[in-house]
Amino acid sequence: MTAKILVVDDNVANQKVLTAKLSAEYFEVLTARNGPTALEAAARESPDLVLLDVMMPGMDGYEVCRRLKADATTRHIPVVMVTALDGIQGRIRGLEAGADDFLTKPVSDLLLFARVRSLVRLKQMTDEWRLRAATGERLGVESCPDPSAEGARILLVEPAASRAGELARVITGEGHVVVTAANAREALERESGADVVLTNLVLGEDDGLRLCSQIRSQPTSRHTPIVLMIDEEDVASLAKGLEIGVTDYLVHPIEASELKSRVSTQVRRKRYQDRMREEMERSVSMAFTDSLTGLYNRRYVEAHLAELVRLARTRQQPISALMIDLDHFKRVNDEHGHPAGDEVLREAARRIASSLRHFDFVGRYGGEEFVVVLPGADAGTAALIAERVRAAIATLPFQISAPAGALELALTASVGVACGPKDAPADLIACADKALYAAKHAGRNLVVSETSDAAEAPPRALSA
């Protein structure tokens, strides 16, 4: 995972230690030694995460965090405060300032890397939703107002009835509705519609981490924040939980003010992301979808790609594009009629979309051609995703209705891969289209990269 981390600490030795650890994990590291410099760097460089020392001369970490969260250009950057203090009041003060988490010095490598990767994934997903909403606004779709953060539905999973009652009283005191579950089975039955899931790691005979994984895999709760309640010694389990999708955590004994603050933070984040998704879906349904497949249309793809390429160039990050063409598609229309061809296109769109990462997007470019944009993907990652798409088309026959009865059609696709950023968005599409042509020329049902010297020699196929 490539990401840009801003380390803010007035102690040079601490800076060097964190820089060395993060660089060894292939993160790009920026540094700042005081609050004003940190604010300037955050606005200028747009990092994916800020590791912020609390105790600094002049402007302390709490004030830096407040200013970051008050600025529209930086408020969506996750902030992890690093402190030598381990008091509850300091954590509450940081949460009220907008911090996403705390790490206590000396920082555990296991917890550091797990928390950084978890928050960076969240940031990248949020960035994509924000960017899609901005694309819609540029194309004339008005933004809807921010939703209310009151009256959230909280699923509390706690086998101890007395503890569940205490926690529920604190949360309902904030105006939220609490639904309780004593085990994993009840939790899965009641998770639908929850704004936040608050679950203990220890659930009697059930595995709390397995429950978190199941909640994260359900379509109805895929984006629901999960707050894990753990004991002090459960750092290894917490690191695993963050890897599988846990959003935040609380350590027993749980203090009421911290519980209220963390739950409120997650409710606001969930409502904001829901609003972003709703805006994107609304804008797309109005003007930017292909009526047959439900995918983005060419107009939206080209507008959004321009912004993604600009962002990739600014952040010096890769971006890739795939051009996908169904092989011999004309035969389907000629031999079985256009309704059968429409069924093939709809199913192909579904298979392509299900083969992508959650922040990638796919559009119908025209006819039987599809384009996929892969933010942050280098040549190797793009080739792997392209092969996954190709296999998704070719592995199973298409089930098609026809006047003479149901049909099974074996179809394949050719895929061209291009990596950028290029000088212009159109160049990225043109290179992917050239690679697609080479895949067709080489025999179809292939993935070919733009690096294959296809114009001068037989293309180097990345897969068959």
Helix axes 379-394, 338-354, angle to 10 degrees: 140
Rounded CA-CA distance 18/207 in Å is 33
Cα radius of gyration (the chain):
24
Rounded CA-CA distance 185/214 in Å is 11
SS3 332: helix
SS3 27: coil
Residue 230 CA: distances (Å) to CA of 16, 236, 364: 31, 11, 46
Rounded CA-CA distance 81/38 in Å is 13
Q: Give the other-Cβ count within 10 Å of 86's Cβ.
A: 10
Rounded CA-CA distance 52/65 in Å is 8
Displacement of CA 204 from its chain's centroid (Å): 32
Q: Quick check: is 368 catalytic? A: yes
Give the CA count within 13 Å in the CB-facing half-sphere of 122: 28
Q: What are phi and psi of 332, to 5 degrees?
A: -60, -50
Burial of 260 (C-beta count, 10 Å sphere; 0-12/13-18/19+): middle
Of 343, 368, 387, 450, which one is the catalytic site residue?
Answer: 368
Buried b (16+ CB within 10 A) or exposed e, 123-145: bbbbbbbbbbbbbbeeeebeeee
Secondary structure element (H or E) that encloses residue 197, with its range: strand 196-200
Tokens 């999960």 belong to residue: 226
201, 233 contact by CB (below 8 A): no
SS3 147: coil
Tokens coding 146: 């921010």
Smallest Cα–Cα separation from 155: which of 226, 245, 237, 238? 226
Tokens coding 307: 């912004």
Query: Apex CA 86: angle with CA 84 and CA 90, to 5°?
Result: 95
* DSSP result, 45-105: H--SEEEEES--SSS-HHHHHHHHHHSTTTTTS-EEEEES---HHHHHHHHHHT--EEEES
Q: For strand 196-200 and strand 153-157, is the pairing parallel, antiparallel, or unpaired? A: parallel
167, 158 contact by CB (below 8 A): yes
| Catalytic positions | 368
